Structure 1
Amino acid sequence: MEKLYKNIFIVLALIGVLTTSCEITDVTDVDPVYQVSEDKVITNVDQAQTVLYGVYGSLIDGLDYIVYMPAVTSMMGTTMKPGIWGGGSENAFFNNDVNPDNYYLEYMYTKMYFLINNANHVITKTAALASDDERKEEIIAEARFLRAQSHFYLLRLFGEFFNMDSEYGVVLKTEPISNADAQARTTVAEVYKLILEDLDYAIAHAPDFSNTFYASNLAAKALKSKVALYRKDYATAATLAKEVIDSNERELEETFGDIFTKKIDNPNEVLFQTPFDNLNDRNNKAFMFRAYFGLSDEYVALMETDARYEAAITFTSAGSIRNNKFNGATYNGVPLTADTQYFMRLAETYLIYAEAMLRANNDIDAAKTALNTIRERSANTLVTTNDYDELLNAIRTEKIRELGTESGEEWFDLVRFHIEGDININDYKELSSETRLILPLPIQTVELSQGVIKQNPGY
Structure 2
Amino acid sequence: MKLFKTIILTLIVVLGLLNTSCEVIDVTDVDPVYQVSEDKVITNLDQAQTVLYGTYGILIDGLEYAVYAPAITSMMGLTMQPGIWGGSSENAFFNNDVSSDNFYLEAIYTKMYFLLNNANHIISKTEKLEIIETQRKNEIIAEAKALRALTHFYLLRLWGQFYDGNSEYGIVLKEQPISDASIQPRTTVQATYELILDDLDFAIDNAPDFSNTFYVSNLFAKALKSKVLLYKKDYEAAAQLALEVINSSDRTLEDTFSEIFTKKIIDTKEVLFQTPFDNLNDRNNKAFMFRSYFGLSEYYVSFLENDARKDAAIAYTSTGSVRNNKFNGSTYNGVPLTADTEYFLRLDEVYLIYAEAVLRGNDDIDQSLWAVNKVRERSTNSLLDTSDKDELLAAIREEKVFELGAESGEEWFDLVRYHIEGDIDINDYKTLSSDSKLILPLPFQTIQLSNNIIKQNPDY
Q: Deviations over 1:19-62 (max 9, x none)?
A: xxxxxxxxxxxxxxxxx352x31111011101100000000000
Q: Secondary structure at the match of 1:235?
A: helix
Alignment correspondent of 1:85:
85
8 Å CA contact retained: 1:396, 1:413 = yes
- Indicate the residue corresponding to 2:295 in structure 1: 294
CA 1:372 to 1:2, structure 2 compared with 1: closer, same or farther past 3 Å?
A: farther
What is the CA-CA distance between 1:280 and the residue it aligns to? 1.4
Task: Give 1:68 shift.
Answer: 0.4
Within 2, Cα distance between the matches of 1:132 and 1:398?
Answer: 49
Match of 1:127 in 2: 127
Aligned partner of 1:48 in structure 2 is 48
Q: Which residue of 2 is the match for residue 12 of structure 1? A: 33
- The one-character-per-residue Cα deviations of 1:119-165 (angstroms, maximum 9, x if unpaired) are 00011111111112121110000000000000000000000000000
- What is the rounded CA distance, in whole Å, between the counterparts of 1:276 and 1:179 in structure 2? 35
Tell me the SS of whatever aligns to 2:272: strand
1:50-199 aligned within 5 A: 50-133=50-133, 134-199=135-200
Unaligned runs of 5+ in 1: 19-35
Question: Please, which runs of 5 or more residues in structure 2 have no aligned partner?
Answer: 1-13, 17-24
How far apart, CA to CA, are the structure 2 residues paired with 1:139 and 1:11?
A: 22
Residue 317 of structure 1 and its aligned partner are, at CA, apart by 1.4
Cα-to-partner distance string for 1:343-376 (whole Å, 9 max, x where unaligned): 0000000000000000001000000000000000
2:347 is matched with 346
Structure 2 counterpart of 1:220, one-letter code: A
* 1:213 aligned onto 2:234: no
TM-score of the two chains, using structure 1 as the length reference: 0.94
Partner of 1:437: 438
Cα displacement (A) at 1:300: 0.2
Identical pairs, percent: 68
Q: Is the contact made by 1:11 and 1:57 (CA closer than 8 Å) also made in structure 2?
A: no
Misfit runs of 4+, over 6 Å = none
Name the amino acid aligned to 2:198: E
Instruction: Count matched residues.
Output: 438
Q: Deviations over 1:284-320 (max 9, x none)?
A: 0000000000000000001011000000000111221
- 2: distance between equivalents of 1:87 and 1:162? 30
Indicate how the Cα distance of structure 1 residues 248 and 2 shifts in structure 2: closer, same or farther if over 3 A, else same. farther
Offset at residue 8 of structure 1 (A) = 7.0
- Structure 2 CA distance for aligned equivalents of residues 8 and 326 of structure 1: 22
Q: TM-score if structure 2 supplies the norm length?
A: 0.94
What letter matches 1:10 in structure 2?
D
Tell me which amino acid in the other structure corresponds to 1:146.
L
Answer yes or no: is the 8 Å Cα contact 2:27–2:214 preserved in 1. no
Structure 2 match to 1:363? 364
Residue aligned with 1:12, SS: strand
Write the distance in 1 (CA, Å) between the matches of 2:217 and 2:101.
Answer: 37
Distance 1:7 1:278, change over 3 A: closer
Matched, 1:269 2:290: no
1:451 paired residue number: 452
Rounded to whole Å, the distance in 2 between the matches of 1:411 and 1:118 is 29
